[in-house]
Amino acid sequence: DVKVTQSSRYLVKRTGEKVFLECVQDMDHENMFWYRQDPGLGLRLIYFSYDVKMKEKGDIPEGYSVSREKKERFSLILESASTNQTSMYLCASSPAGRERDTQYFGPGTRLTVL
């Protein structure tokens, strides 16, 4: 069974802290994605990675960075957390290329920045 896990379900951090969100998939997928979800805005892509050490900016990369050192793990880093980064963060993975398979989502991390 397909599985995407995220390191925390709930996280509370203070403004200015460095925050790490981790995502692990066990499906040997090439692609991994980080989204944030806010009411009325749907899902917005922050970054995605199509291979180890490869990354591409999504629609809202400002204030975020990512790391993908191993195929199964994709980390989202908030260099200096701010209150406007309070949100639900969703990780997803998918196989690459012409299979056009769906994206598989993790359970989400609800981050609150105080």
Tell me the number of residues near another protein by CB under 8 A: 26
Cα(11)–Cα(102) distance, integer angstroms: 28
Question: Could you tell me the smallest distance in angstroms from the CB atom of residue 32 to another protein?
Answer: 10
Residue 97 makes contact with another protein by CB under 8 A: yes
Exactly one of 25, 75, 85, 94 binds another protein (CB under 8 A); which one? 94
Which burial class, exposed, middle or buried, applies to 30 when counting CB atoms under 10 A from its CB (0-12, 13-18, 19+)?
Answer: middle
Question: Could you tell me the smallest distance in angstroms from the CB atom of residue 36 to another protein?
Answer: 11
Cα(109)–Cα(20) distance, integer angstroms: 11
Residue 1 makes contact with another protein by CB under 8 A: no
Exactly one of 42, 62, 69, 84 binds another protein (CB under 8 A); which one? 42
Residue 108 makes contact with another protein by CB under 8 A: yes
Exposure pattern of 61-81 as b/e (b: 16+ CB <10 Å)?
eeebebbbeebbebbbebeeb
Of the pair 12, 17, the CB lying nearest another protein is at 12
